[in-house]
Chain A
Amino acid sequence: MRRPNDRLIAVDGVNGNAMVAAAKHLIAAEKKRRVGVSYWDASGIFGEVVVAEDSAGRPSARTLLLLYAADLAFRLRWEIKPALDEGLLVVAVPYIETAIAFGRAAGLDADWLSDVFGFAPRAGQRRLIAAPAARSISDRKGFVEFGCQQITGAHSGPPRRLLMRRTGSHLRAASKPRKAR
């Protein structure tokens, strides 16, 4: 397994606005270092999903995660890796754990999720933003909030709040230090 990159900071959570605020706080605190930042949907893929006709059919959790991985590949190529190569500290908002937690909450296999995201370097530092999803729909700007809206909007899958709560639980579990065997 590749070593984590100490200059890559992953900011994960379910509340998009809270994650962005946390990232800005992090960047402001690093006064002496140059910092790069990479936000969700830099590629614009999800913006295009939003404007698609209803008749196109809503994406499933698995489809959304493949799209998330495509967006992450874009972010790595154009934002994260170039900044790391320049010696910058890079804040990725969100990174892999958010996607994996969302997939687990939707019932997808953990091995499948980690394999799909196997192309991405591991972050050396991780921050879990504990804020729950925004109450108002207009304030829901993060991937988990978007994804829950997409897959519960058209299908009778797990209700939205339950899915968000489960995602939060998986994120908390993933952030706990693992006990040595």
Chain B
Amino acid sequence: MSASTHSLRALSLRARTHFGDPTRRRGLLVAFEGPDGSGKTTQRKLFKTWLKAEGYDVVTTKWNSSDLIKPIIKSRKAVRALSPEEFSLLHAADFRHRVEHKILPALWSGQLVIADRFLFTGLARDCARGLDLDWVLKLYQPLLWPDIVFYFSVSADTSSKRVSANRTPNYYEAGQDVTQIDDPTVSYERFITRVIREYESLAVIFNFITVDAEQSIGEQHHAIRKLFRDCEQRSWADSNADAVAEWLMMRGGPA
């Protein structure tokens, strides 16, 4: 057994002990997923306000927001220079950087992290662009599973209407890189249908909690509160030990 394998095993054990300690409130990771126009950002904000009132120390992380990688992606999107593989790899890099610099440090210190989109966004969009699910999933390893994934389910029609009511979807949001359709609104309708199909498969595979996003804002919010209360006492997912151990090793051992 190599020294690094030995260290990783020791650090996995340290992670299990830390997150399994019943004497303190452990860090929780809650992901909000769904197509554009599903209202998840509105719900995320309401949920955060409620959690803070309930005494939780809350941190939010958004998709494609790492200070290091976001500018790289932004400049390439601006000149429409990304292939599906480059798009996928750069978003996976952005995600990994946020896991290591924002999400895991917050979870380790006992905070509640709300992720406005998580790795499932990458999976749904990349598969809708024709990439292989197994390959894309590999990019996100070692996997870090949220304690809860709320999936905001809307039809492609609703998503298209809500998005186009406010703005014209941008080139990649509309999937114009793969549909080859000149009209961004028409392209969006086509692309979001594919994305939703992928999301629906992921919701079954990964056991998302589906929220009917066609309901009123108040109804959704109260449903989320109840679902969260039902789920928050779940024990820590042991499958997250590898991701935590690698992070601990990277920063030179546990704090």
Residues of A within 8 A of B (CB): 43, 45, 48-49, 52-53, 55-57, 59-63, 66-67, 69-70, 73-74, 77, 107, 112, 115-116, 118-119, 151, 155-157
Contacts and interface: CB of A to CB of B under 8 A. Distances in A.
B86 A52 contact: no
Main SS of chain B's interface residues?
helix
Contacts of A53: 67
B139 interface: yes
Interface in B208-255: 246, 249-252
B250 A60 contact: yes
A157 B246 CA distance: 11
Nearest to A67: B93
B93 A48 contact: no
A69 B100 CA distance: 19
A74 B81 CA distance: 9
Contact of B83 (A60, A73, A112): A73
Contact of A157 (B135, B138, B252): B252
A115 B250 contact: no
Contacts of B92: 66
Contacts of B249: 107, 157
B78 interface: no
B86 A118 contact: no
A115 B97 CA distance: 20
A69 B89 contact: yes
A180 B207 CA distance: 45
B66 interface: yes
B83 A66 contact: no
B68 interface: yes
B251 to A, nearest CB: 6
A63 B85 contact: no
A142 B83 CA distance: 25
B71 interface: yes
A67 B246 CA distance: 18
Contact of B71 (A52, A112, A115): A52
A60 B142 CA distance: 13
Contact of A55 (B67, B89, B93): B67
B21 to A, nearest CB: 25
Given A66-B96, A67-B72, A156-B251, 6 more contacts: A52-B71, A57-B68, A59-B68, A59-B93, A63-B93, A69-B89
